[in-house]
Amino acid sequence: MNNVNLLPQTKTYEQLSFAFIAPYFCYVLLNILNDFFALWIVYVIKIIVVGSLLVFTRYSFNKIHLRDILYGFVLAPFLLLLWIVPYYTFFNITDSFPKQTLATIANPEFYWILRTLASVILVAIFEELFFRVYLLEFLFQAQQNKHTSIIDKCGDTLNNKPQDLKVLPLNKYSIIGTIFLFTLGHSVSEYISCILYFSITLVIYKYLRSLWVCIIIHALTNLGIAVLVKYWGMNFLWF
């Protein structure tokens, strides 16, 4: 395992799909419980279910280095700002700041702790695994498929095993595809922030060649958002 080949080459993309996709979609699907339980209970369930998927699934990570941590802490404030400014601007332009606030949530302190833990640890890991590891490499390989149809390219690639890569899996399909799907997984008000955030982190990934830097940036950005919601009243970042 090196900084280029992050997927095991012993299984097909279809066989690997559950390990890399299930945590993401499970976390999202559990939002249906919001109508039946207090939000803090939903986050308890998310942490247990998605946390179990991540813990009991064997992923291969490169060794983390001190420089990865340092780069993450240096770059995270810039990415946090890049996320907040377009998002705040959108609400100002549309004059549609949400009425719900942290104070209106049942057990707000407990909810804030649980949601912060989930976003800093779980979300930062499973989104990076899905988008920057699995999807990026899958779409990179799909572009090389002989078919002209995107659907046919992806369908055939599911039956293939990951390639032995010599360069990071960055090409037209993988870059546009991951940015598009990452953005699609968020609310419309976050679209500009998503495009800017993921584009810049792809540049960082290209030059630093470290998944850990991206995970740390992701975690610290989510932590910064949680702090701003609780202590600066920026409830629009969550609600």
Give the model confidence (pLDDT) of 66-105 as tens digits: 999 999 999 999 999 999 999 999 999 998 899 899 999 9
Label residue 45 by pLDDT band (50, 70, 90): very high
Mean pLDDT of the chain: 95
Checking if the pLDDT of 1 tops 60, the result is no
Q: Indicate the burial class of 172 (C-beta count within 10 angstroms; 0-12, 13-18, 19 or more).
A: exposed
pLDDT, tens digit, for every residue of 146-164?
A: 877 888 999 999 999 999 9
Label residue 62 by pLDDT band (50, 70, 90): confident
Cβ atoms of residues 79 and 217 within 8 Å: yes
CB neighbour burial string for 185-224, b if at least 16 within 10 angstroms, e if fewer: eeeebbebbbebbbeebbebbeebebbbbbbbbbbbbbbb
d(CA 18, CA 52): 14
Of the candidates 60, 38, 48, the one whose C-alpha atom is nearest the C-alpha of residue 104 is: 38
The pLDDT of residue 146 is: 81
Reduced to 3 states, what is the DSSP secondary structure of residue 87? helix
Residues 6+ apart with CB under 8 A from 215: 72, 124, 125, 128
In percent, how much of the chain has pLDDT > 70? 99
The pLDDT of residue 132 is: 96
Label residue 61 by pLDDT band (50, 70, 90): confident
Residues 6+ apart with CB under 8 A from 173: 139, 140, 142, 143, 153
The pLDDT of residue 2 is: 59
The pLDDT of residue 183 is: 97
pLDDT, tens digit, for every residue of 99-125?
A: 899 999 999 999 999 999 999 999 999
Q: What sign does the CA torsion over 92, 97, 102, 104 have?
A: positive
The pLDDT of residue 128 is: 97
Where do we find the tokens 């390639």?
163
